[in-house]
Amino acid sequence: MSSSLFPSISSLPAGTVVSALMAIQMKNLDALVAVQKMAMEGLGALARQQQEMLAARLTQAAALPDTLTEADPRIVLARPFDAVKTAILDGTAQANLLGELAARSGAEVAGLLQERFLSALDEAKAALLQAVPATRD
């Protein structure tokens, strides 16, 4: 590395660069706090959805014995099979919903992190460019 391309650290106005870098790090920390909050909210939404799904499943399971008192034995025999088919379809739909919630939450977190990282790069570049005097040819 040539000294004409990269000035020595001692030639940079330290206070300006350090202040700018500290400001960038504070923004990075704020972004990390926001990301953590966003991730926790996403996990909370997933937990609430799972709780609602479990409550619905328990309600359906509690009602099943009432359906087995039917007079027609063919209906009594068919109901468990229909219940299993319904449970499979509901389970798939619920898994898809949970997957979409998780993906949406993850995408929001990743987007915020990417935005902050790109901003930090721009801010660091600007701070260093401002601190380094232009060379005259």
**DSSP state string for the chain:** --TTTS--GGGS-HHHHHHHHHHHHHHHHHHHHHHHHHHHHHHHHHHHHHHHHHHHHHHHHHHHHHHTT-S-HHHHHHHHHHHHHHHHHHHHHHHHHHHHHHHHHHHHHHHHHHHHHHHHHHHHHHHHHHHSPPP--
Burial class (CB in 10 A: 0-12, 13-18, 19+), 37: exposed
The domain locations on the chain are 12-131
Confidence (pLDDT) at 133: 78
Confidence (pLDDT) at 12: 54
Confidence (pLDDT) at 107: 92
As averages over each run of 10 residues, the pLDDT of the chain (137 residues) reads 48 73 91 90 86 82 68 81 85 88 90 94 90 76
Is the pTM for the entire model greater than 0.95?
Answer: no
Confidence (pLDDT) at 5: 47
| Euclidean distance between CA atoms 12 and 19, whole angstroms | 13
